[in-house]
Structure 1
């Protein structure tokens, strides 16, 4: 977050809650909190949406997890299919959460360390088993998603045959491990659609090139947004500068009616007083809105 030299003079072991006040004051002194930050965040979100909807940059995923999920959806895998997730590391955790988010509800996690499998399975409302139980507990699957740190194949021909248990339906195997977890020779002799990480990396590189082609258009949107923000910021400065005007105008009106011309107002009948109130309210609104409008127009003309 910040270097040792940027920190205030106190021990680096100070607990986080003691840093928060200092951090807040630092950001406030730089003008990065309050109204300005609100404007920046809101305009950034609007700009990001324009880039997302106005270019094709989001149509070409480059992450392995996104590409693997897209492949799974292209094959019309039913959300109720039994998916075996082999390995509970970062990649498979991201993939599993992605699957759950999109409605897949029959997820089974296998891991060498059972405790890690249980942690991930708990988040997914799924089942957890040790890797040693894969042959028996992995039966009845439709999809295998595997990514472990093993140096040799996790799923051999012998183990895969045990997992099939005579099942001849076509299976999907997504192997995201380097080196591979799934022996590719199995795909030569079985009814398998094998998606290996090398295939996904080739797609990712191609998509990255297409994304780079969108950068010119993205930059144009950002440049235009910066110019728009300058106008928004100037308008907001006018609004803040004139924020006290309504109260001042009301104060003047109140003084005029209740002090300066109080005796004259008292002589008016009810209908005349109501008319006076309407006139004063109208003038009050116009007195506030007209200068604000003129000030904004002047600023915009100068920008």
Structure 2
């Protein structure tokens, strides 16, 4: 009997606009969504990952096309109509699904390659699936292998050591100025992709709070909610400068939005506590003169580019190592998956041989008078040892790859030789 198919489908920051991602029908949280997924016809096991940057469903089934349609209808119930959503979705099966999951866990598919936050998000999602009992034998094994693959990548490569994006470089500079960021408060001015990337990194470093200011308040609210922060209007920025430690500005404004005099007044209110500005907007959002003020540090996109360029070649070398590790672990899991197909035949073969051997043992014991319990145990051990030796070569034949005979043919041969599909005659 063929095994179930592993299917992974989803959307992420590469394929789908935020306007669509934020409307996906999982507003009820993991528990509600997993309950709905588990009840879909044909779904055997399922797992759901939902972050600001991606929503992915991993499941096993016998009818991939039908089940995938049901999952998509559930996910996009409030996001699109007709077939609109199909252009946003990627879908993988079996080996390709395993590879994609491992790439995600190892942070090779993230906005920022090498960021550490995604592994924690995967594990949190797994806790929900485990508690809900929606993941089973296959997905439990697959997800644990994904976690161990990510650990290998972290341990054996320096994938997370160097800043290779503008936003990540900004966070690295903040760490150099403040050291530990855990008690720091961050203000993002602008809620576009750059701000989202910066927030992703800052939260990964454990900042105390994220505040988002944007011309469109709803967009600010959406982004802030992803990071358990809060939103303010652009007009409130000066007031926020009195409270925050780090400011990252990435608006689409055509003129400077903060000048030197604005910040000078704020510094008096702050009693000259250090304030770190990062301007990643083009054209620049912040007056270059801000950098002349005491205890104020301003870096622009050119400063950050210098940091990034120095680190790119190193990260690329580490990414090659990481992808090799993913390929190795994918092959190991695929081999385990292939062996699942032989498991029912192996179980049936052992059961049939054990029944025959023990049946003959029992007949023999019943015919011989005067046997002690010790004699019976010795005879039982002997019968069991004979059974194991007889099964050794058939089991090896099933488990070992053959160049000339594929797995399906080997299973058919063994089942025919031992009459497993009609073994009544053996009894």
TM-score (norm: length of structure 2):
0.52
2:176 to 65, 74, 92: 74
Give the drift of 1:276. Answer: 2.2
Higher normalized strand content (fraction of residues): 2
1:63 and 2:105 equivalent?
A: no
2:197 to 94, 97, 106: 94
Give the drift of 1:73. Answer: 1.9
2:220 to 109, 112, 117: 117
In 1: Cα distance, 2:66 partner to 2:370 partner? 58
Listed as ranges, the matches of 1:184-263 within 5 Å are: 184-214=288-318, 242-258=346-362, 261=364, 263=366
Bigger Cα displacement from structure 2, 68-77 vs 276-285? 276-285
In 1: Cα distance, 2:219 partner to 2:290 partner? 28
Q: Secondary structure at the match of 2:191?
A: coil
2:250 to 141, 147, 168: 147
Matched residue, 2:65? 23
Q: 1:249 to 1:45 in 2, by over 3 A?
A: same
Q: 1:212 to 1:98 in 2, by over 3 A?
A: closer
Indicate conservation of the 8 Å contact 1:111/1:117, yes or no: yes
What CA RMSD, in Å, does the superposition of the two structures yield over aligned residues?
4.5
In 1: Cα distance, 2:227 partner to 2:333 partner? 42
Task: Name which structure has the greater RCO, CA cutoff 8 Å, separation 6+.
Answer: 1
Q: Secondary structure at the match of 2:244?
A: coil
1:176 and 2:280 equivalent?
A: yes
- Structure with max Cα Rg: 1
Corresponding residue pairs, total: 284
Indicate conservation of the 8 Å contact 1:265/1:273, yes or no: no
Q: Secondary structure at the match of 1:193?
A: strand
Indicate conservation of the 8 Å contact 1:79/1:105, yes or no: yes
Q: 1:208 to 1:281 in 2, by over 3 A?
A: same
Give the drift of 1:180. Answer: 1.7
1:135 to 238, 258, 261: 238
Higher normalized helix content (fraction of residues): 1
Matched residue, 2:134? none
Indicate conservation of the 8 Å contact 2:354/2:384, yes or no: no
| Structure 1 residue runs without a partner (length 5+) | 2-16
TM-score (norm: length of structure 1):
0.70
Give the drift of 1:114. Answer: 2.5
Listed as ranges, the matches of 1:5-20 within 5 Å are: none
1:157 and 2:199 equivalent?
A: no
Q: Secondary structure at the match of 1:261?
A: helix
Q: 1:145 to 1:88 in 2, by over 3 A?
A: same
In 1: Cα distance, 2:240 partner to 2:331 partner? 60
In 2: Cα distance, 1:191 partner to 1:232 partner? 59
Matched residue, 1:264? 367
